[in-house]
Structure 1
Amino acid sequence: MVSRSLVATLVLLAVALVVLGLWPDLTGFLTFSPGGDTIQIGALLPLSGKNAVYGIEIKNAIELAKSEINSDGGINGKRLTVIFEDDQADAAIGTSAMQKLTQVDRVPVVIGSWASGVVVATAPIAEKNKTVVMAIAIAPSISNAGDYIFRIQPSAVFYTQKSVSFLRDRNFSSAAVIFVNNEFGKSLSDAFVADWAGSGASVIAIESFAQGDSDFKTQLSKIKAVKPEVVFIAGYQETIAVIKQMRELDLNATILAGPPFESQSTISALGNEAEGVLYAYHFISGNQNSKAQTYEQNYWETYGVPTGGFAPLAYDATHIIANALKKCDSNSDCIKKEIYNTKGEGVVGPITFDANGDPDVPIVMKTVKNGKFVRFDE
């Protein structure tokens, strides 16, 4: 029988290795362990701070999917559990959290992050540890982040291509851009500018702001002076204040927003000022997809609020990962292969992944009508 003192010594040694940063050097001798009657995955999300509204809706969707999976027998009889880490949409915090998930918790899969900058910063850690990542982020650079890096949200280029095509078909020819100066905002801004200019139209002003800023009147005054037909806002929750200040300045242009615009917090904060804002999106609330209808009903009954737009992506991601775990247990190379081979119908529609781990997910133009997010032609 192994003595208690020996067990205690081994535990202390393991803790010391983690603290000293030596644990990663041992990962080559280790295999992932689901831990008895459970199998663990990780989730890296902004659960506090100004972008927590997005992280919380994603967490809700993961929990909803996890509950369904476990009610249906789990992963070959094992209960699926999720270790949630709060990255606050900050690359440094996210890096520490990813190190914990990969080197201490040793999960085979991580859902997240939602923040592009966090995904880009943490991808090398996931690659080194052969941890599969399913991001919910749009930066084009994620396409080349590594062989273990997937995303369930389309790249920024697909949103801007849809938006530009829509606006050019309606004879808009001049645009201004205001974007949050980080990986997310620059990705959307660069993609929009390239597509807009490539269509033969003019980008007549480009302004930026720091994440978390609240006063945009200096930038908006410059934009107003050049009289664009369209103003594209590539921001997070700052989009709300940008729109309010545009209205205050009588900056009368068609407003095009980025994907984070679709959130119940937007409607609550803007009220009638949200009416008519355009944006390209990956989910149509109330569509005829039976999975989507069931999901929306279950989300409402569970949380008492309508689903946000990022939550369906996380819900689908959790089920895709669960299907892979059923075939692979915690073998990350097998999981990676199974995700590449995904062909199925999710709540956002048909889902497949290309050689870069990018999804083929339908995107449509949406707007706000009578206080609701709807497809533009409804």
Structure 2
Amino acid sequence: MRMRILSVALAGALVTAILSGCGASGGGSNAGARGDSGSSDTIQIAVAGPMTGDNSEYGIGFTNAANMMAKEWNDKGGVLGKKVEIVPYDDKNTSEEATTIAQKIVSDKKAAGVIGHFASGVCMTAAPIYQENKIIEISPSSSHPDYSGIGDYIFRNNTIISKEGEASVDISINDLGKKKIGIISIMTDWGTNTSQIIKQLVEASGDPDVRVVAHEEVMEGSDDYTPAITKLNEAGADVVICCGMYNLVAPVAKQYKQINPDIAIVGFSNAYSQQLIELGGEAVEGVCFPVIFFSESDDPAVKAYVESYTKDFGAAPSALTSQAYDSAGMLLTAIEEAGTTDSETVKNKLYEIEYKGVTGDTKFDSNGDVDKEFVKVTIRDGKFVRMN
């Protein structure tokens, strides 16, 4: 059923290496497979992501969204007559912690599935463990092209980065009319991969005047990006594509506009967060990015969701938070329609369902991926608005 990017042998070898290297005690292909909940009064869903540290907003957002979805189901009587319970795990956005958490989840044998993790590299460390133990994982955020190919229990409710990269490049060239592209990227697997994809997309634009004039890699969480900014500015960049989260985009915008107030800045959906505006202030006015979910949508279902989320948690939901909300909804719907929490049965059902959620109509393909339309968003007068 699944066209794998990684071979079964490679995925199995990776699982073995991870488990043996961490001293885990087993985890054969059936060791963690779930059956029905039996006498349990709850159906447990694990949420794994960074609950502390620089990227904690994402993990907390995932948890808030999953709890909100669970409450909606519980208010209607639960799933299969049982209460849905959300159990959060803090992976600190590190592969080491994610390995420990994945091993705990499969050892406990209580979770009907996992929503998470956040960063692609972290997801790809944990995914082979879930795959080997037949635990469903749906990442709301992983965009690395190889992630879902790890196995047929591995899903993503996010587009692969090449799709989003196309949208960011399109904004830079066609919407903003820029030709001299600068790239600043964080030194992570995601940042490196994304920057390379941007270069390839720019080269394939078909316009001989459009080119990447400079690319600078930076440490995530740095306070001073001026050395990289100076090089980009000296190279003549008229737009800079930021391959990083809001904690990169906000300080880059502040520091860059002190040097060149006219610079255009384009990001990705992982920067679409109220935190970007709070951290960047006036400097992030005009920053653009593509998003799958737009909180200012006129769609009645989206408006109701945003109002409810904002009332419960004090801020509007981000795109990735909303993808976590729909991910939890898809998993619970699959369990309900399957009539069981048996992981293989639920996994097969996930490939069949067509889910209408706040992030659009979602259908997993045979590789566990989705394809969705992007909305182009910018910041104007301190608010997110659609680009005209």
Residue 321 in 1 paired to residue 331 in 2?
A: yes
**Is the 2:45–2:111 Cα contact (8 Å) retained in structure 1?**
yes
For residues 217 and 322 of structure 1, do their structure 2 counterparts lie closer, same or farther at Cα, with a shift above 3 Å needed? same
Measure the CA separation in 2 of the matches of 1:141 and 1:252.
37
For residues 31 and 54 of structure 1, do their structure 2 counterparts lie closer, same or farther at Cα, with a shift above 3 Å needed? closer
Residue 206 in 1 paired to residue 176 in 2?
A: no
Structure 2 residue aligned with 1:189, among 189, 195, 198?
Answer: 195
**Is the 2:28–2:133 Cα contact (8 Å) retained in structure 1?**
no
The structure with more radius of gyration: 1
Measure the CA separation in 2 of the matches of 1:166 and 1:120.
29
Residue 282 in 1 paired to residue 292 in 2?
A: yes
Structure 1 residue aligned with 2:146, among 141, 146, 151?
Answer: 141
SS in 1 for 2:345: helix
In the superposition, the TM-score normalised over structure 2's length comes to 0.88
Deviation, 1:167, is 3.0
Task: Tell me the equivalent position of 1:163.
Answer: 168
1:203-352 aligned at under 5 Å gives the runs 203-236=212-245, 237-250=247-260, 252-328=262-338, 329-352=340-363
Task: Tell me the equivalent position of 2:73.
Answer: 69
Alignment coverage as a number of residue pairs: 359
Deviation, 1:345, is 1.5
SS in 2 for 1:120: helix
Measure the CA separation in 2 of the matches of 1:184 and 1:118.
10
Task: Tell me the equivalent position of 2:380.
Answer: 369
Deviation, 1:204, is 1.2
Measure the CA separation in 1 of the matches of 2:113 and 2:234.
49
Deviation, 1:125, is 0.4
Deviation, 1:123, is 1.2
Amino acid corresponding to residue 174 of structure 1 in structure 2:
K
Measure the CA separation in 2 of the matches of 1:85 and 1:119.
14
Identity of aligned residues (%): 28
Q: What residue ranges of structure 2 are gaps of 5+ in the alignment?
A: 1-21
Amino acid corresponding to residue 59 of structure 1 in structure 2:
T
For residues 28 and 114 of structure 1, do their structure 2 counterparts lie closer, same or farther at Cα, with a shift above 3 Å needed? closer
Measure the CA separation in 1 of the matches of 2:236 and 2:324.
39
Measure the CA separation in 1 of the matches of 2:306 and 2:213.
41
Aligned-residue RMSD, C-alpha: 1.9
Deviation, 1:332, is 1.2
Measure the CA separation in 1 of the matches of 2:300 and 2:193.
33
For residues 128 and 30 of structure 1, do their structure 2 counterparts lie closer, same or farther at Cα, with a shift above 3 Å needed? closer
Amino acid corresponding to residue 228 of structure 1 in structure 2:
A
The more displaced of 284-293 and 312-321 is 284-293
Q: What residue ranges of structure 1 are gaps of 5+ in the alignment?
A: 1-18
Task: Tell me the equivalent position of 2:12.
Answer: none
Deviation, 1:251, is 6.1
**Is the 1:162–1:364 Cα contact (8 Å) retained in structure 2?**
no
